[in-house]
Amino acid sequence: MTELRKVAIVGSARIPFARGHTAYADETNLSMMATAIGGLAEKYGFKGEKIDEVMGGAVINHARDFNLAREALLDAGLSPLTPGTTMQIACGTSLQAALALASKIATGEIESGIAAGSDSVSDSPVVFGNRFQHRIIDLSRARSAGEKVRAFKGFSFGELRPVAPSTQEPRTGLSMGQHCELMAREWGITREAQDMWALGSHQKAAKAYDEGFHDDLLVPCAGLLRDNNVRPDTTLEKMATMKPAFDKASGHGTLTAANSTPLTDGASSVLLASEEWARSRGLPVLAYLTMGKVAANNFAGGDGLLMAPTIAVSELLQRAKLSFSDIDLFELHEAFAAQVLCTLKAWNDPDYCKTVLGRSEPMGEIDAARINVKGSSLAYGHPFAATGARILGLTAKLLEEEAKQRALISVCTAGGMGVAALVERA
């Protein structure tokens, strides 16, 4: 049996994240991912060289991006001998890509890999309904004038009405925000607590910028040099003026634009490798990606759409024989402030830990000072598929700079899933 090898996190590069329809209005998933990967190649000196595999994807896809990862690596200037694999698991896409590549590196199948993700709400695909779509297909296959005419028999102008992009869950018809409102209500998460968490995220992110933490992580794109969603001047008073964004009618809505991530454009990438590959090229080893776990729940049956990370983290820690006290840093993706607060409350709830997680005792509380110490998605934004790689790259750098031993990453996703990963300092 092949002995498993350590998987090194060499480093990362991403473009600044931008609120939808702002700086990247003219960019695409392909151009953004290519810029992020190209920046990574420049940073670590492998432009024009072969990497064993690039894996990544986008949540908001165009039909033209039939293999986004492959096209992006070619546009980024990597060797055409580099294969590209496109995959998608909603908001966990680039973290799941990193875990898949890590498995290949650990078993010796490959020596190096790049995990990447990109998403653009500014370039969302706009499609027509099924009836008009089939007419266009029939027209493209028509071989005679008569067939072309028949393709539009019975046509009405109402068929030209486009189908707007939607974030609704197919099985429930509710958006992620609406689902999170239900979670907040179930777990008793107040509007004030959510606003406090969001404020802290912005303050920590602004401080990280002031300290220069992001200077070597960002690659300029379309004239943007830093994330344009970070609000260093926001206050609880300003947040309190925001109206509910998802439950506008009941009078009890608590999720607002201030305590929820904005629709965001952006891309990110992370370079993983065997220690031998990295050392032979004089590249750093910031940390090791040691373990991962993906979990799902029955959200359509009422489990809570964004609660699956509680399961993924629990199972990962059980497998690693670790507890919260063994973790120095926690990077919990902030899709909504309420999602993080529900998760933290669930891990400390005896009944939830027993009935859902199968534990005899609660997992316990986590010191807030160890969570998202540089801020997270509420401040930086959340380009769906790019968030996992952003967090993984930040985590590796953080462990190395602060001389901490272990970090735990958790990302909630649409479809009632969660992705977790364990990272250890080199």
For range 305-320, the mean pLDDT? 98
Q: Quote the mean pLDDT of the chain.
A: 95
Reported as a single tens digit per residue, the pLDDT across 365-387 is 999 999 999 999 999 999 999 99
CATH class of 176-213+290-425: alpha beta
Distance, in Å, from the CA atom of 325 to the CA atom of 38, rounded to the nearest integer, reads 39
Question: Can you give the three-state secondary structure of the chain, one letter per residue?
Answer: CCCCCCEEEEEEEECCCEECCCCCCCCCHHHHHHHHHHHHHHHHCCCCCCCCCEEEECCCCCCCCCCHHHHHHHHCCCCCCCCEEECCECECHHHHHHHHHHHHHHHCCCCEEEEEEEECCCCCCCEECHHHHHHHHHHHHCCCHHHHHHHCCCCCHHHHCEECCCCECCCCCCEHHHHHHHHHHHHCCCHHHHHHHHHHHHHHHHHHHHCCCCCCCECCECCECCCCCCCCCCCHHHHHCCCECCCCCCCCCCCECCCECCEEEEEEEEEEEEHHHHHHCCCCCCEEEEEEEEEECCHHHCCCCCCHHHHHHHHHHHHHCCCHHHCCEEEECCCEHHHHHHHHHHHCCHHHHHHCCCCCCCCCCCCHHHECCCCCHHHHCECHHHHHHHHHHHHHHHHHHHCCCEEEEEEEECCCEEEEEEEEEC
Question: Lowest-pLDDT range, 150-164, 244-258, 397-411?
Answer: 150-164
Enumerate the domain spans of the chain: 7-123+264-287, 176-213+290-425
Greater confidence (245 vs 132) lies with 245
Confidence class for position 258, pLDDT limits 50, 70, 90:
very high
**Residue 182 pLDDT:** 97
- Which residues belong to the active site? 91, 382, 412
Residue among 193, 208, 233, 199 nearest 373 (CA)? 208
Question: How high is the pLDDT of residue 33?
Answer: 98
Residue 1 has pLDDT above 60, yes or no: no
Same fold, 7-123+264-287 and 176-213+290-425: yes
pLDDT digits (tens, 9 = 90+) for 106-136: 999 999 999 999 999 999 887 778 888 888 8
Domain 7-123+264-287 falls under CATH 3.40.50.1820: no
Put simply, whether the predicted model's pTM sits higher than 0.85 gets the answer yes
Q: Which two tokens stand for residue 260?
A: 């929820």
Report the pLDDT value the prediction gives residue 94, as an integer from 0 to 100: 98
pLDDT in tens, 174-188: 999 999 999 999 999
Local confidence band at 215 (pLDDT 50, 70, 90 cut-offs) = very high
Lowest mean pLDDT segment, chosen from 155-164, 358-367, 382-391: 155-164
164 — pLDDT class (breaks 50, 70, 90): low
